[in-house]
Amino acid sequence: MKTRKLERTRLVPHTVDGETEMVLVREHVDVPAPPADWDQRVRTGVTIGACILVSVALVWSTSAIGGLLALSVTAVVAYAAAAAFDTTWIMCMAVEWLLRSDPDRAKAPRRAGHWALAVSMGAVFAHGYVSGQLIIGAVGAAVSALAKSGWSIAMRVHARPLDDRTRQWVAKRRAAVDGQLAMIPIRRELQRGQALVDAEQQALGPADPDQSGQSADHPDTGSTPTDRKSLTTKDAVRIAWTDGIRDRDAVIHDAAARLGRPVSPDSVDRYLRDLKRGA
């Protein structure tokens, strides 16, 4: 039986000059080694092989398509644009990998990947046709197809199919979490907007210091509240007017004394004009 050494530690008492302390002791023990997991090794090998195939296909397609595009544009621009052909279907495969537990959502990137692969293969074949080497163009186009097939096989190796009920459960849980994630930027946007509104209000100040809730065009001359908590600027001006005070500064002073706080001269002027018109 194969064994392997493991390091284990434990605390033991150790006494020096009559003083005992717990010290750490390290020791190595032989334990049975687990059998080789060939399934995992094969799975890893398939994944590495698929990655190599994709890399080779990307280099080959970029070289071929870049040579085709270089007939009309600068080589640097041509090869940069050529990389987009295979990169597109590789990105689609990556998205399909991320959505491997959700077959419904994986259909769109899988379909898009097939179309992108077809376009890339057509461009590689076109390069061979223009160069007068149809066989090389056809074989070169098959490189991308083989790479995508290899990756599809690797995905099947890593796939964990779910039954219908489990897929529904996962879909509902994912929808709930996605809703919470979607609300994060929305809340941030609302908070930023509210902060702008608050800053605007603070910068402009209150539109009307008087919060009486009544129109100054029709001053109520029938009541004379005396409670400062319920007394408004309009009430204080009206009381001063009723008492025969007509001087603006005197009205402002009297209203401030009744309210126990400063009053807005603009509001006092507005209420005095309304009272004069009403008189």
Q: Within this chain, do residues 13 and 81 fall inside the same structural domain, yes or no?
A: no
Among 214, 216, 228, smallest CA distance to 258 is for 228
Model pLDDT, residue 228: 57
CA distances from 206 to 104, 213, 231 (A): 55, 14, 19
Domain assignment of residue 207, yes or no: no
Among 84, 79, 83, 114, smallest CA distance to 96 is for 114
Model pLDDT, residue 158: 82
pLDDT in tens, 118-138: 999 999 999 888 888 889 889
How would you write the pLDDT of the chain (279 residues) with one tens digit per residue?
A: 678 888 888 888 998 988 899 999 888 888 887 788 888 888 889 889 989 999 999 999 998 998 888 888 888 899 999 989 889 999 999 998 888 878 888 889 989 999 999 999 999 999 888 888 889 889 988 998 899 888 888 888 888 888 888 888 988 898 899 899 999 999 899 888 888 888 877 777 554 445 444 444 444 444 444 555 577 888 888 888 888 888 888 888 888 888 878 888 888 888 888 888 776
Q: Within this chain, do residues 24 and 94 fall inside the same structural domain, yes or no?
A: no
Model pLDDT, residue 229: 59
Q: Within this chain, do residues 113 and 21 fall inside the same structural domain, yes or no?
A: no
Q: Within this chain, do residues 68 and 139 fall inside the same structural domain, yes or no?
A: yes
N-terminal to C-terminal alpha carbon distance within the chain: 114
Q: Within this chain, do residues 275 and 233 fall inside the same structural domain, yes or no?
A: yes
Which residues lie across from 20 on neighbouring strands?
A: 15
pTM of this structure: 0.55
Which residues lie across from 6 on neighbouring strands?
A: 29
pLDDT in tens, 5-21: 888 888 889 989 888 99
Model pLDDT, residue 259: 81
Q: Within this chain, do residues 25 and 49 fall inside the same structural domain, yes or no?
A: no
Domain assignment of residue 264, yes or no: yes
DSSP-H helix ranges across the chain = 38-69, 75-98, 103-130, 134-158, 164-204, 233-242, 248-259, 265-278
Domain assignment of residue 234, yes or no: yes
Domain assignment of residue 184, yes or no: no
Domain that holds residue 147: 44-158
Based on the structure, what is the number of domains in the chain? Answer: 3
Model pLDDT, residue 224: 45
Model pLDDT, residue 27: 86
